[in-house]
Amino acid sequence: MNAWDDQRVRDAVTQTGRSKLLIGGLWTEVCVMMPALDALKAGYEVYAVTDAAGGTSIEAHEMAVQRIIQAGVMPVTWQQVMLEWQRDWARQETYQAVVDVVRQHSGAYGMGVAYAKSMFGSAGEGGEKSNGAERSGTAFGQTVTVTDTQPGAEASHMH
């Protein structure tokens, strides 16, 4: 139930050399809470991805989240994590992949990104324009070309 009880897990975490942990799991009140509290005691800075877990009930989930927050674990959502890793829309390496995830899975935020793109074009996002209308870069090892188009039209494609 508590992955932190497994020496192999602790060894693997130690071998990364990192001091921050992101934890998600099946049951918040067991798979997230227990290792999060133990890792916190072991000196790690622990973040619980609260929407990457669920409880046996809504109350069980909410009480487990409250308990870990009171202990010092920082709650985050999957979207917060992804956008913190992206940092800036000008980062070409991951731009297109992140935008695709946002548009497909981020509800109102995804709709807002699509709306802003249609209203303002690509100015300020996705890096520098290479020829005034098109920019190229890579996302997860694939070449990505972002082309300015008319509002409402799809503005990117992968080669």
pLDDT digits 0-9 by tens, 68-114: 999 999 999 999 999 999 988 788 899 889 988 988 888 888 888 77
Instruction: Give residue limits of the domains in the chain.
Output: 3-76, 81-158
Residues in contact with 115: Cβ distance below 8 Å, sequence separation at least 6, in sequence order: none
Least confident of 26-35, 54-63, 134-143, 148-157: 148-157
Regarding the domain delimited by 3-76, which CATH topology (the fold level of the hierarchy) does it fall under?
A: Rossmann fold (3.40.50)
Where residue 47 falls (left for φ over 0; alpha for ψ -120 to 50; beta otherwise) is: beta
pLDDT in tens, 113-126: 777 777 776 554 55
Query: Catalytic site residue 31?
Result: yes
Torsion on CA atoms 62, 63, 68, 71, rounded to nearest 10: 140
Residue 157 has pLDDT above 50, yes or no: no
Q: What is the mean pLDDT of residues 123-134?
A: 50
pLDDT in tens, 35-74: 999 999 999 999 999 999 999 999 999 999 999 999 999 9
In the chain, DSSP finds a helix count (H) and a strand count (E) of 6, 6
pLDDT bin (cut points 50, 70, 90) of residue 135 is low
Catalytic residue of the set 3, 30, 31, 139: 31
Position 105 scores a pLDDT of 87
Residues in contact with 156: Cβ distance below 8 Å, sequence separation at least 6, in sequence order: 96, 99, 144, 145, 146, 147
